[in-house]
Structures are given as C-alpha cells and as structure tokens.
Structure 1
Amino acid sequence: MALARVVLASGRTVDLSALHMSSTYGGLLEGYPCKPLNDRRIDALVRMANRSFPGAQVHLIPPPREYPDQYAGAFGPVEVLPSVACVGSFRAEALDPSHDRALYRSRLTVVWFQPTACVPSGHDAEPGLLEVNWDTLATDEEL
C-alpha cells in the first residue's frame, strides 16, 4: 500500500512507497548555511538515497537557493535551502508496454527539498517533483 499517490504534470500517477524527511540544517552546531555546506548536504542525501534504495535510479531535483542580505563569513555568502530535505521512493506502472503489468513496475528514487514537512499527495507537491520526467528517469523492475 502506498503512503501517497502523486499526479505528475505529465498526467502519470506515481505511488510514494517510502519517504525520509529530515531537517536541512538539523545538527548544525556552528557555522552558517553557505554553498560548501549545502553542497555537502545535497551530496550526502544522494549517497543515502543510493544506499537506501539500491538498484533504483536516483534523481536530484536542484533545490532553490536563497541569499538573504546577511554578512558573508569565511565560507562565502549566506545561502539557504528549504528547511526540509526529502528522499522518496516512487513506483508506477511499467514503462515498457510489452512488460506484463502484473509482474513489472517502474521505479525512481527522488531527492528534493521543500519548505514544510508535508507529504506530497495528488497535485499538492513541490513544482519540481510534479515536473519529474518519469518516462526518461525511471526504470522498470521485475517484481
């Protein structure tokens, strides 16, 4: 049973089968949000996605980056990502029409950021998530 069903902009319906949400800056004890820190956080999430869902393609939706008018420290200007980091495993009908619908599903792991801890559902999701090109990024797997 899916956690949620998301309708992509293409009209394809995909099921969210697993979701990991975390605070983007949880555990930041010192320093400030900046490009080097954010790049490391993004890389760590992609690595975690690959480990958590082996065999699935991982797609990163590039996060929006804000630059508040604050003092730039030793690591450059302040750069802020949305406050919630997400890794989701999605499944849908098989891409290849020759595959038996009972035996095959397509899947894709997606990494994205969003401002709140809301589970994406229906048409209510971050625009980048809704715009995922499933037919190009997902892969079929035999159940």
Structure 2
Amino acid sequence: MALAQVVLGSGRSIQLSGLRLAETYDGLLMGYPTREMNDGIVAGAVERAKKDYPSAPVHLVEPPRAARELRRATFGPMEELPRVLCTGFFISEPVDPALESVLHVSRLVVVWFQAESELPSLERADPGLLGVPWEKQAEDVKV
C-alpha cells in the first residue's frame, strides 16, 4: 500500500512507497546559506539518493532559490532553499506500453525541496514534483 499518490502534470499517477524528509539546513549553527552552500546541499542530496537506491534512477527537481538582502554580507550574498529536503521512491505503471502492468512497474527516485514537512497528495503536491518527466527518467523493471 502506497504512502501517497500523486498525479503528475502529464496525467500519470505515481505512488510514493518510501520518503525521507530532512531539514535543508540541518547543522547550520552560524552564518547563513549562500549559493555555494546550497549547491553543495543539492549535490549531496542527489549523491545520497544514489547511494541509498543504487539500482534506481534518480531525478532532481531543481529547487527554487530565494536571494535575500543582508546589511552585512560577510560570506557573500544570501540565498535560501525551501526548508524541507525530500527524497522519495515512486512507482507507477510501466513506461513501455508493450510491457504488462501485472509483471512490470516503472520506478524513479525523486529529490525535491518543499516549504512544509508534509506528504505529497492528490490535493497538495509541490509544483516541481508535479512536473517530473516520468516517461524520460523512470526505469521499467520486472516485479
């Protein structure tokens, strides 16, 4: 049984079977986020997803980045990502229409950032998540 179901902008229904949520800036005790720090957080999230799911393809939803004005920009310009880092394992019907859905599924690990710590759902999902190019990124496997 899926944790959640999401309908992508393409109309494809995908089921969430695993989800890890983390605070984007967990461990940041001093200073503020910069573009360089955020680039490292994003790259690290993708690498961790690849290690956690070594046999599945990983897709990154490019996160929105918000520049903030600072009175004293000691470390350079401030840039913020959404506060919750999400890594989800999704499955769906096969991408290849020649495959039988009883014997095959398509799968994809998706990394995205969102404002709140909540499950995506049919009613509410991050716009970036809804735009995942499933047909290009997902992999068909036999179950």
User: Which range, TM-score by smaller chain?
Assistant: over 0.9
Instruction: Tell me the residue number matched to 2:44.
Output: 44
Could you tell me whether the CA contact under 8 Å between 1:123 and 1:130 is conserved in 2?
A: no
Q: Distance in 1 between matches of 2:21 and 2:132?
A: 19
Q: Distance in 1 between matches of 2:66 and 2:88?
A: 24
Could you tell me whether the CA contact under 8 Å between 1:8 and 1:123 is conserved in 2?
A: no
Deviation of the 1:123 alpha carbon: 4.1
Deviation of the 1:42 alpha carbon: 0.7
Structure 2 unaligned runs (5+)?
none
Give the fraction of aligned pairs with identical amino acids, expressed as a percent: 46
Deviation of the 1:101 alpha carbon: 1.3
Q: Distance in 2 between matches of 1:72 and 1:107?
A: 43
Deviation of the 1:49 alpha carbon: 0.6
Give SS of 2:43's match.
helix
Deviation of the 1:30 alpha carbon: 2.3
What do the CA deviations read for 1:64-91 (whole angstroms, capped 9, x no partner)? 11111113223x2011000000000110
Deviation of the 1:57 alpha carbon: 1.1
Q: Distance in 1 between matches of 2:17 and 2:120?
A: 12
Instruction: Tell me the residue number matched to 1:100.
Output: 100
- Count of paired positions: 142
Deviation of the 1:116 alpha carbon: 0.4
Instruction: Tell me the residue number matched to 2:137.
Output: 137
The answer to whether residue 119 in structure 2 is matched with residue 119 in structure 1 is yes
Runs of 4+ displaced beyond 6 Å = none
What do the CA deviations read for 1:23-66 (whole angstroms, capped 9, x no partner)? 00111122310111111111111011101112211111111111
Q: Distance in 1 between matches of 2:57 and 2:42?
A: 16
Instruction: Tell me the residue number matched to 1:73.
Output: 74
State the one-letter code of the partner of 2:7: V
Give SS of 2:18's match.
strand
Instruction: Tell me the residue number matched to 1:33.
Output: 33
Q: Distance in 1 between matches of 2:101 and 2:80?
A: 43
Give SS of 2:80's match.
coil
State the one-letter code of the partner of 1:106: S
Give SS of 1:36's match.
helix
State the one-letter code of the partner of 1:83: R
Instruction: Tell me the residue number matched to 2:88.
Output: 88
Could you tell me whether the CA contact under 8 Å between 1:14 and 1:92 is conserved in 2?
A: yes
Which deviates further from its counterpart, 83-92 or 54-63? 54-63
TM superposition score normalised by structure 1: 0.95
